């Protein structure tokens, strides 16, 4: 039950600010305004298992994602293995898996940084600058260095999610040095996402302070369990484990560029 609610929370979060198309064998999320952003244009909640069902879903993806050069699918332990195998056969590249981790104890507030919600245009500009630094580093994008255009589209997507999905900045001496986001999903799960700290400010407890702050907010909103994700190989996974997050499952993202856009 816990795993199902976690997955439902991710699906809800990924759909915020985008159009959602239900098909007989899965869900397709689209956003014509942001064709290069994977999380704005993808399929998930896949139930296709038989060859004809898989073919139907892949055809639906081509129909509804014709505006983007990418075909992206999010899979989880509830995705039929036959569908994941078909993605591998068709040349979809499996991105680094994400370790989903659930908090197993209450966190105490961590002093030392000023944590504030994003509310003004200046706040959004500060977030955009940090997101750009995040994308230039490439540690959370599997080593890929995203273009400034993609960064702009991703930040626009963040703004479209704002409300149920809240971003916060952590500042030191008035300088924004880290960011993160949290949301209380309809499933009752509290999610913490998109954590990033500037390299020069790491190992100072800022990420821990953000996580503890988010945890307190989510518990106050009635969430009965809290989770976050760490890429396989991401150093932060060890911090999360020390804070009391236990690994519960892996989720994956599969990506393929369409042939006509490659040529």
- Among the ranges given (111-115, 130-134, 176-180), the one the predictor scored with the smallest mean pLDDT: 111-115
Average pLDDT on 100-129 reads 90
Instruction: Using the predicted structure, report yes or no on whether residue 263 has a pLDDT greater than 60.
Output: no
234 contacts: CB under 8 Å, gap ≥ 6: 139, 140
From-to residues of CATH 3.40.630.30 in the chain:
103-249
Instruction: Pick 103-249's CATH classification: 3.30.70.1230, 3.40.50.2300, 3.40.630.30, 1.10.287.3510.
Output: 3.40.630.30
Return phi, psi of residue 75, to 5°. Answer: -120, 160
Q: Assign 52 to helix, strand or coil.
A: helix
pLDDT digits (tens, 9 = 90+) for 45-74: 999 999 999 999 999 999 999 999 999 999
pTM comes to 0.91
Position 49 scores a pLDDT of 98
Confidence band, pLDDT 50/70/90 cuts, at residue 212? very high
User: Is residue 62 left, alpha or beta, with left meaning phi > 0 and alpha meaning psi from -120 to 50?
Assistant: alpha
Note the pLDDT tens digit of each residue in 132-145. 999 998 877 766 77
What pLDDT does residue 262 have? 47
């Amino acid at each position: 039950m816990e795993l199902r609610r976690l997955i439902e929370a991710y699906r809800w979060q990924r759909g915020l600010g985008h159009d959602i198309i239900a098909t007989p064998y899965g869900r397709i999320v689209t956003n014509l305004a942001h064709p290069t952003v994977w999380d704005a244009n993808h399929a998930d909640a896949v139930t296709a298992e038989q060859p004809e069902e898989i073919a139907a879903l892949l055809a639906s993806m081509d129909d509804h994602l014709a505006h983007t050069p990418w075909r992206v699918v999010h899979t989880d332990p509830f995705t039929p293995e036959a569908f994941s195998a078909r993605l591998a056969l068709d040349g979809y590249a499996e991105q680094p898996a994400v370790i989903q981790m659930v908090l197993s104890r209450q966190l105490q507030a961590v002093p030392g940084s000023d944590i504030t919600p994003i509310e003004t245009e200046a706040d959004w500009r500060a977030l955009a600058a940090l997101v750009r630094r995040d994308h230039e580093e490439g540690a959370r994008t599997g080593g890929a260095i995203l273009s400034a255009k993609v960064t702009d589209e991703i930040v626009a997507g963040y703004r479209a999610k704002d409300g149920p999905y809240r971003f916060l900045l952590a500042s030191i001496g008035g300088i924004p040095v880290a960011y993160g986001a949290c949301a209380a999903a309809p499933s009752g799960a509290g999610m913490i996402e998109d954590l990033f700290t500037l390299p020069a400010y790491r190992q100072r407890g800022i990420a821990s302070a953000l996580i503890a702050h988010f945890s307190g907010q989510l518990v106050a909103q009635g969430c009965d369990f809290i989770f976050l994700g760490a890429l396989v190989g991401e150093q932060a996974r060890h911090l999360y484990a020390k804070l009391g997050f236990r690994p519960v499952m892996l989720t994956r993202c599969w990506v393929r560029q369409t042939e006509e856009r490659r040529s």
